[in-house]
């Protein structure tokens, strides 16, 4: 009888996986900022990031058993089920300014929360992939900043991300890691979708790498791009065009990407030429179907048109558990995104998961915020 029960369980597992074979699901969030404190959270003041993020991860772990809303999106009214990946687009550690803890301490806290306590599994029963990109805070900690930091440099979160994502034969150390030579860019194929992860923003150097990465990808394969900054990138992200090109208090360029800024000599200038080049790259690769980013820290689904209104690229921006534009003032707005993709119908649904709508209730589940469903054709 016991053998029969096991056999039946295996059959259900197999048929469930088969029924979902064309569906890819992942969680998307950004800007977790370990090292910061949240002014107010669940009745407490000055709550550390590791506690806030831990509570968010607890809510993520509940997702597979939750029923999707009746909203016209993919799988609406069905149980969420397996999740293939959890994706975080940077600012793992907060910049080490104004008494913020070291990147080393922040990375330890991050791993304890997002590696040890995240329990979500994919269709095969394997733990969901954790996929990361660095943010401007992570990079500045590694290379220095134009305001004082303590320590002045600590590449720990960059080294951690690099080793976890790039999986070098010889893991990097804080001594052997050298940015920008050690770039964090990679891709993963998940269920018929090509996921591309690049550094702080897809500048000209990253696009050279992307050209090689996309070369063997079929034109019919949807490509999703993940990076820290929105397409309308700030001038300060670029390498300083002035003098010795250094990060300094006068110029305030942060040298987060390798490309020298072309549009002027001030961080107040607009990055029009750089954005035009990105728009041309998107035009050249029409199977890039979606762009996911953080940095400005609120839920938004929009179309990026480029400086000359030549493209229409679906973009998805995520809230931050620590620095959300809305959720820092109203904790009931705290959110991450659940993304469901059907690779047969070439359709994507992105749903906002509001995970703290009842701050006084220690036992709560996800509430549903905004959602959008788009064709990937």
The pLDDT tens digits along the chain (377 residues) read 444 444 434 433 443 444 468 999 999 999 999 999 999 999 999 999 999 999 999 999 999 999 999 999 999 999 999 999 999 999 999 999 999 999 999 999 999 999 999 999 999 999 999 999 999 999 999 999 999 999 999 999 999 999 999 999 999 999 999 999 999 999 999 999 999 999 999 999 999 999 999 999 999 999 999 999 999 999 999 999 999 999 999 999 999 999 999 999 999 999 999 999 999 999 999 999 999 999 999 999 999 999 999 999 999 999 999 999 999 999 999 999 999 999 999 999 999 999 999 999 978 899 999 999 999 98
* CATH number, residue 279: 3.60.21.10
9 within a domain of the structure (yes/no)? no
Q: Number of folded domains in the chain?
A: 1
pTM of the model: 0.94
Indicate the SS3 state at residue 285.
Answer: coil
Tell whether 4 is covered by a domain.
no
Contacts of 280 (CB under 8 A, 6+ apart): none
> Nearest CA to 362 among 118, 55, 57, 63?
55
In terms of DSSP H, where are the helices of the chain? 2-19, 49-62, 103-110, 136-143, 156-166, 204-214, 272-284
Nearest-angstrom CA–CA distance, 185 and 214:
13
Indicate whether 17 belongs to any domain.
no
Matching residue, tokens 């089920």? 81
Asked if residue 65 belongs to a domain, the reply is yes
| 7 part of a folded domain | no
162 within a domain of the structure (yes/no): yes
- d(CA 211, CA 281) in angstroms, rounded, equals 9
**Considering the domain boundaries, does residue 166 fall inside one?**
yes
Report yes or no on 127 lying in a domain. yes
DSSP per-residue string spanning 90-147:
S--B--S-TTPPPHHHHHHHHIIIIITS---B-TTSSBPEEEEE--HHHHHHHH--SS
Domain assignment of residue 160, given as a range: 26-375
């Amino acid at each position: 009888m016991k053998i029969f029960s096991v056999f039946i369980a295996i059959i259900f597992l197999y048929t469930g996986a088969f029924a979902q074979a064309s569906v890819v699901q992942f969680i998307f969030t950004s800007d977790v900022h370990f090292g910061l404190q949240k002014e107010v959270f669940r009745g407490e003041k000055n709550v550390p990031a590791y506690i806030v993020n831990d509570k968010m991860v607890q809510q993520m772990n509940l997702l597979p058993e939750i029923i999707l809303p009746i909203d016209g999106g993919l799988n609406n009214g069905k149980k969420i089920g397996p999740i293939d990946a959890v994706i975080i687009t940077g600012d793992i550690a907060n910049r080490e300014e104004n008494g913020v803890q070291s990147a080393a301490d922040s990375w330890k806290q991050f791993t304890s929360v997002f590696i040890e306590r995240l329990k979500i599994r994919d269709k095969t029963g394997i733990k969901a992939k954790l996929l990361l990109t660095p943010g401007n805070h992570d990079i500045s900690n590694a290379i220095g900043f134009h305001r004082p930091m303590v320590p002045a440099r600590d590449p720990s979160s960059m080294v951690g991300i690099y080793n976890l994502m790039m999986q070098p034969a010889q893991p990097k150390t804080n001594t052997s890691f050298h940015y920008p030579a050690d770039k964090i860019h990679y891709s993963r194929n998940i269920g018929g979708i090509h996921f591309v992860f690049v550094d702080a923003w897809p500048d000209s150097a990253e696009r050279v790498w992307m050209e090689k990465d996309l070369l063997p990808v079929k034109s019919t394969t949807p490509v999703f791009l993940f990076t820290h900054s929105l397409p309308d990138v700030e001038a300060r992200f670029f390498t300083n065009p002035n003098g010795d090109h250094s990060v300094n208090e006068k110029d305030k360029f942060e040298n987060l990407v390798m490309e020298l800024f072309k549009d002027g000599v001030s961080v107040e200038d607009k990055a029009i030429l750089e954005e035009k080049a990105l728009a041309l790259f998107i035009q050249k690769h029409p199977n890039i179907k979606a762009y996911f980013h953080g940095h400005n820290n609120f839920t938004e689904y929009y179309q990026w048109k480029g400086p000359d209104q030549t493209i229409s690229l679906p973009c998805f921006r995520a809230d931050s558990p620590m620095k959300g534009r809305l959720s820092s003032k109203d904790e009931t707005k705290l959110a991450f995104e659940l993304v469901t993709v059907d690779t047969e119908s070439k359709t994507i649904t992105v749903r906002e998961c509001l995970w703290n709508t009842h701050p006084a209730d220690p036992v709560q589940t996800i509430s549903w915020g905004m959602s959008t469903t788009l064709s990937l054709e």
